[in-house]
Structure 1
Amino acid sequence: MKKTFLSIVVLLILSGNMANAKAKPIQLNANGNLLTDMKSPIVLNNTSFVPIRVVESLGDYKVGWNSKSKTITVICDGDSLQLTVGNNVALKNHKKISLSTLPVMKDGMAYVPLRFISENFNAIVDWDSKNNGIAIINPDQNEQMLIQSGDLAKARLGVIGLQRVQFYVSKDRPEGESFSFIFPENDFSKMYFIWSDSIYYYELKNGYMSLAWEGKKTFSKLDGTHSSLSKYLGGDIESIWGEQPAVTKRLVFFNDNTGSVGMVGEYGIIDTKGNVVVSHKVQDAKQLADLIVNVQEEKK
């Protein structure tokens, strides 16, 4: 396929973990989209299979199905991949390739091995044991280059641009054009994303950001026993999903208000008591790169 992806092939041994999770259906998330309308993966002969339709969620792929010949065709940018249920030979741009595990049919749907997804669509396949889910991600090469640059501001820009994966459907629908990104000091692997009164906490995983906690700011009076994040936000925080992480070090914030009329960007540092001890205004920020900058006051 002619997509430009970072060449990462992850060969997973999921069957043991997945077999232990039979009581709870396994969830699928493809490129940040929780596939609630997709049938769960299955395990056959110690091999994990996912519906072939998952491929359509990875980009501009079109999946065709010939019920008579039981043939699956995947097309993208003029390239094609064809495989048949029960046949260990597939055609990639009309050239034969061997399959170590055959596609199967179950309940009228075609399934392919997870390894097939990673090897043929340059996708990262990650098993999230905590949330009983599988993340399938097409990594963005540009974001990966930023993360690996060795520059803290660029790395933060990179993780902000990564796919955000969750295995939970939030009931809240935030509104507004202002956002905040908050990182632990000298860290880019953990991030709070604040949109309106909703707070999302992500951790960097294998090429994507994984939602670890969601909270919501309330307007109850602070009594001095709340976290530094609560004090900074000016209200109590109610946990909606997951466990709220403890704040053990200073935080670095980047407030993107540039979408609101008459507002400017701001960045700075919050101490462990929730006080803003460093603040810089950004008057003409037209893109995140103008706002997500290296903060000289961060302790090295």
Structure 2
Amino acid sequence: MRTMVVSSPEELAVVDAPEPVPAAGQVRIEVDAVGVGYLDVMAQRGQYRTTLGAGAVPGAEVVGRVAAVGPGTPTGLVGNRVLAVMPDFGGFAEQVLAEADAVFPAPDELDAAEVVGLGLNAIVAELGLHRAGVRAGDRVLVLGAGGGIGVLATQIARAHGAEVTVMTSSEARGERLRALGATHVVDRNRTGSPEGETYDLVVDPIAGPALGKHLRLLRPNGRYVLCGGAAGIPDPQALLSLLEDFHKSPTLFAFSLTAVSARERRQSWERIMGLLAEGRLVSVVDQSLPLAEAGAALERVAEGKPFGKVVLHPR
């Protein structure tokens, strides 16, 4: 089978690999679509807990059909169409192994690209907002709102009755976000950040040097969901703003799926499917490319160009 492996810090290569054999508790999936996210970029650059060095295979989420199961794994999974979350990567391939407790039913009404367009990003956005207790009437700010997490966080917050402000990089992206439920748009290239505004809840998938400034946008008893690092690892000094604003009782949720149980992920996916069925959530796919163009896909993500999810098709 074909697999894309890291050949250098900035390059990938196609290699032939043997068909993987599932161990106990695992499934083998014939892949129809792979999500490409900033997580892959960070791991390839050595900026994540897992470094994708030479010979490693990027890709943390796939959609496909279960072709085989390992010993002790329910045989009823064979033939099921699923989304698989792969925290240790390995998704840029025609077939992959995944833990059986990390696969979720893929909705029949969406094609493979649309399912992966939800995928990890939807679970991160939904669980982050769920843990932070988003509710009707909240003023919510979504940073990096045109990215894979942002386009979904915007919709999910709106579905809960929040008034959503989004920060993005152009007027065109802002109009697309309005169509997804945003009430207010801040063009970061014009104003930098909302002026004179404060929020009950901030969703931040970008972090970076502006973290301290964004933390100060919280209202008293505000909640801040830090769920990514697309703008880089923030200076630890940025967290001093939490202490300086101690009188406002802010709460910081430093949120990563690696610390979330399989049960919580499954419950989140069920809530996401509920929003989808109610017509309150749509998948946003930026581009679909063949597996051989994985390098171009990663470059596009690294440059912050996608609106929504970039998807690869191995077959």
Q: Comparing both structures, which one devotes a greater share of its residues to strand?
A: 1
TM-score calculated relative to the size of structure 2: 0.22
Q: Comparing both structures, which one devotes a greater share of its residues to helix?
A: 2
TM-score calculated relative to the size of structure 1: 0.23
Q: Which has the larger radius of gyration?
A: 1
> Per chain length, whose mean CA-contact separation is higher, i.e. which structure has more relative contact order (CA < 8 Å, sep 6+)?
2
